[in-house]
Structure 1
């Protein structure tokens, strides 16, 4: 009887502590984020750091530039009458083609002067974003360019055969399981993927040409996936100026005729968001199981397409 009481009491205490923990996290999360209205300054710096993704759930444990967060910051800076210019401080190797395009479009829509400041890297999708700005500044040794698209996926048919596991194909629609890692990709399927990649790559190059006021023909010559150092990129017309933050501020002061007062616009995750992301991600993989976690919920999800 006493043992049952102890167990009941222990469970009650654990539940109470859990409830108090969630309440505490909720209260702390109210103070998270950024209140841009309370910030003073006339030049907004917006960091674009890490792999460019569409959702924070895409990259949980690594630094990521989430398109919706960056777009929100660009829009808030655009709406703030005190802000005269925006510096995009870029340190990213690229990422999602869709997310990169979304951010680039938001940059083009703003009425403020925009400067892309490329730090260590501003390549591929990150360069797509930079090209949408009014002025691009990079270090002599910054890594930039890399105009192109890459797709990759893993195949497991040999592994399954070794362990006597059979992939039984049941589909409605000839290409429904295209890109499935459980079977070898046919030459026809590979050709289909390559055509789509070429379309995305051509669109990418076309956007760079428009944004940089270059001919499509000239961009096509360098849209081969190669990266360029800042000094090379300037010679190719991909960068306007070599330098760093001081040069970015000086450009804005000349163009706007102001004394720049820089303020950083940055989204901070609350504890509730962090814990929710961790718990939801772990629950997702536990629920799917080790084997099924190798596959996504869609037939083509095993194929990763990035800029």
Structure 2
């Protein structure tokens, strides 16, 4: 009996040593990665290559949240900065804009498109899975658009919406006390129904943005405004349809986009990924996530060796 208790105690002791060692190694690894990450990720290191690769992913907004609470949006200010940085680099001969976005706000989309138009280098848009609405607007600012045959593009149009809770307030006997300096100051408030006049004002603004949208695409794609008008009803098109309508120039992917650049510039393309430096919050979050995973993996492997169990995927 005593012998069995001693063996159990020895087993617990070995596990205690294993756990302490794993925790110690994880902490050392985490601190090392954090120190390196702070100095490397937050610094502006010019990537090597002759073709700047810039990704536009997710909704395009003027200001996107950064850090571990990141919403997966594209910050137009950052994209504009990256475009300008690549354009100023004499080693960069062309810009490859990879697009996978459902669009964005009117101002943010305009800013990205305008920055591309102002670039003095060859620009190519590669629409991967989707480049619609404001993202398509940005794509039209490039010299050449390559789209996957099954990607979605187009969706030329403007949308505005809001939630209206006036019925809910009435149901719970709550009221909205309206104090405004002008009759339209609280237009679009969710706590009251929109009047006919307010709807007309909103629609007029939407229509004005649509006019600018259509005219910019017609100019960028060298298409008659009348043709773009017919397509500007919000419909999206697959790549195969888009090329027939003149909305894109070529069907394909990254290889085709790079090949077009190489032929245009007579170079052997070497992509240099241009991206914003990570914030300290993002570095911390990634470090915690990665080392938490490997720490758990270490426990799992120790148990597998101890019990003779092989785990594969």
| TMscore range, shorter length | 0.7 to 0.9
Maintained 8 Å contact 2:44/2:277 = no
Unaligned regions of 5+ residues in structure 2, if any?
1-32, 286-313
| Cα distance change of structure 1 residues 34 and 105 upon mapping to structure 2, 3 Å threshold | farther
The correspondence of residues 99-138 of structure 1 with structure 2, limited to 5 A, is 99-138=108-147
In structure 2, which of residues 267, 270, 273 is the aligned counterpart of residue 264 of structure 1? 273
Unaligned regions of 5+ residues in structure 1, if any?
1-23, 277-307
Task: Please give the alpha-carbon distance, in whole angstroms, between the structure 2 residues aligned to 1:154 and 1:249.
Answer: 44
Give the SS at the match of 1:56: coil
| Cα distance change of structure 1 residues 53 and 31 upon mapping to structure 2, 3 Å threshold | same
In structure 2, which of residues 36, 41, 47 is the aligned counterpart of residue 32 of structure 1? 41
- 1:46 and 2:54 aligned: yes
2:150 aligns to what? 141
In structure 2, which of residues 189, 199, 217 is the aligned counterpart of residue 190 of structure 1? 199
Give the SS at the match of 1:116: strand
Give the SS at the match of 1:167: coil
Task: Please give the alpha-carbon distance, in whole angstroms, between the structure 1 residues aligned to 2:157 and 2:164.
Answer: 23
| Cα distance change of structure 1 residues 141 and 105 upon mapping to structure 2, 3 Å threshold | same
- 1:56 and 2:64 aligned: yes
Maintained 8 Å contact 2:154/2:242 = yes
Q: Deviations over 1:141-175 (max 9, x none)?
A: 11000000111100111111111111121111111
Give the SS at the match of 2:65: helix
Task: Please give the alpha-carbon distance, in whole angstroms, between the structure 1 residues aligned to 2:210 and 2:186.
Answer: 24
Q: How much is the aligned-residue C-alpha RMSD, in angstroms?
A: 2.1
Specify the structure having the higher radius of gyration (Cα).
Answer: 2
2:300 aligns to what? none
Task: Please give the alpha-carbon distance, in whole angstroms, between the structure 1 residues aligned to 2:253 and 2:152.
Answer: 14
> After TM superposition, which residue ranges in structure 1, 4 or more long, deviate above 6 angstroms?
24-27, 273-276
Give the SS at the match of 1:150: coil
In structure 2, which of residues 61, 68, 77 is the aligned counterpart of residue 68 of structure 1? 77
Maintained 8 Å contact 2:152/2:239 = yes
TM-score for the superposition, normalised by structure 2 = 0.76
Q: Deviations over 1:226-256 (max 9, x none)?
A: 0000010000000000001111111011111
Residue 43 of structure 1, CA deviation: 0.7
Maintained 8 Å contact 1:45/1:89 = yes
| Cα distance change of structure 1 residues 147 and 185 upon mapping to structure 2, 3 Å threshold | same
